[in-house]
């Protein structure tokens, strides 16, 4: 939306009258009839009609036709830009604050999801850790049982079998430990995600944007309602 206001020579002549400027200000509040303008300005209906005709010719006001016997007059967009230039800025601020709030909402949602996923992952016991304990226990029990059965045999055979059992147990534990290490290697990223916090500047910016949005929305709604009444 452009803030540039273009006025021709006729518009300048029309605005040279304090009465017509006053009428524009009155119409900026809400729609008015010729009688309403006459009562509020203290001028006769014929005089008000002359001013209205000049304002209509300059494109500053127009007749609002709603099919009723009452003839209402309202500001045109050109008239609004002269009387209420601040309204355009209000809409710009409203749109900008809404965009900032939407961006912050997306970022906060992403951070909350990261924190939630990280927390769930940390609360889970790595399945390979439990598997390592089970494999180690089973291997040791199996080795001890078989060694006790071979005790009556030759010492050398018992010693060789014991070495094989120990090697098998070590191998099983190493495989399970390797799986556990792979799972634990991803924990730093999870911890980092779980420790993710919303920066203070984002909270402050969100509060400021929300305040600006609410104020601008209230002003815009109030002006729009007053104009339609």
The pLDDT of residue 94: 67
User: Do 74 and 185 belong to one domain?
Assistant: no
Residue 225 included in any domain: no
Residues 74 and 97 occupy one common structural domain: no
Q: What is the pLDDT of residues 34-90, one digit of tens each?
A: 999 999 999 999 999 999 999 999 888 898 877 777 889 999 888 887 776 555 566
CATH number at residue 15: 1.10.10.10
Same domain for 158 and 123 = yes
User: Could you tell me if 75 and 116 lie in one domain?
Assistant: no
- Angle, helices 127-149/155-184, rounded to nearest 10 degrees: 180
Residue 29 has pLDDT above 60, yes or no: yes
User: Are residues 110 and 160 both part of a single domain?
Assistant: yes
**pLDDT value at residue 82:** 78
Lowest mean pLDDT among 23-32, 98-107, 135-144, 206-215: 135-144
Note down the domain range covering 95. 87-220
pLDDT in tens, 151-208: 455 445 545 554 555 565 556 555 655 554 444 455 455 445 444 556 677 677 777 7
Same domain for 78 and 108: no
CA-nearest of 57, 52, 58, 18 to 38 is 52
The helix (run of H) or strand (run of E) holding residue 64 is: strand 61-64
Residue 40 and residue 115 in one domain = no
Q: b/e map of 2-12 (b: 16 or more CB within 10 Å)?
A: eeeeebeeebe
Q: What is the pLDDT of residue 77?
A: 83
User: Token pair for residue 190?
Assistant: 């999870």
Question: Which residues touch 63 (CB under 8 Å, ≥6 apart)?
Answer: 56, 71, 72, 73
Q: Give yes or no: residues 65 and 25 share one domain.
A: yes
Q: Which of 83, 110, 135 is the last residue of a domain?
A: 83
**100 shares a domain with 79:** no
The separation between the first and the last C-alpha atoms of the chain, rounded to the nearest angstrom, is 26
Task: Residue 195: name the closest of 116, 106, 109 by CA.
Answer: 116
Last residue of a domain, one of 52, 83, 114: 83
Same domain, 138 and 214: yes
Q: For residues 221 and 124, what is the distance between their CA atoms, to the nearest angstrom?
A: 51
What pLDDT sits at residue 2?
46
Residue 228 lies in a domain: no
169 within domain boundaries: yes
- Output phi, psi for 164, to 5 deg: -65, -40
pTM: 0.39
What's residue 52's pLDDT?
Answer: 92
* Residue 126 within a domain: yes
The sign one gets for the Cα dihedral 13, 18, 23, 29 is positive
Do residues 13 and 117 both lie within one domain? Answer: no
φ, ψ (nearest 5 deg) of residue 197: -125, 155
Q: How many domains does the chain have?
A: 2
pLDDT tens track for 80-118: 877 765 555 666 666 777 777 777 777 777 777 776 665
Q: Which of 83, 108, 139 is the last residue of a domain?
A: 83
Assess whether 71 and 94 both reside in one domain.
no
């Amino acid at each position: 939306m452009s803030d540039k206001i273009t006025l021709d020579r006729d518009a300048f002549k029309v605005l040279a009258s304090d009465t017509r400027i006053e009428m524009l200000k009155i119409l900026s509040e809400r729609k008015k009839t010729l009688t309403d303008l006459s009562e509020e300005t203290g001028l006769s209906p014929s005089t008000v009609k002359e001013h209205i005709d000049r304002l209509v010719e300059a494109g500053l006001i127009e007749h609002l036709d709603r099919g009723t016997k009452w003839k209402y007059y309202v500001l045109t967009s050109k008239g609004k830009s002269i009387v209420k230039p601040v309204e355009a800025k209000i809409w710009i601020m409203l749109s900008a604050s809404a965009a900032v709030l939407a961006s912050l909402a997306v970022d906060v949602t992403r951070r909350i999801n990261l924190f939630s996923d990280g927390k769930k992952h940390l609360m889970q016991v790595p399945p390979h850790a439990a598997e390592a304990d089970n494999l180690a226990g089973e291997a040791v029990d199996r080795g001890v049982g078989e060694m006790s059965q071979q005790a009556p045999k030759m010492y050398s055979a018992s010693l060789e079998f014991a070495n094989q059992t120990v090697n098998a147990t070590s191998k099983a534990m190493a495989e399970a430990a390797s799986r556990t290490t792979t799972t634990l290697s991803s924990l730093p990223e999870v911890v980092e995600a779980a420790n993710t916090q919303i920066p203070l500047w984002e909270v402050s910016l969100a509060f400021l944007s929300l305040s600006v949005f609410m104020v601008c929305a209230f002003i815009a709604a109030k002006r729009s309602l007053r104009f339609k009444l």
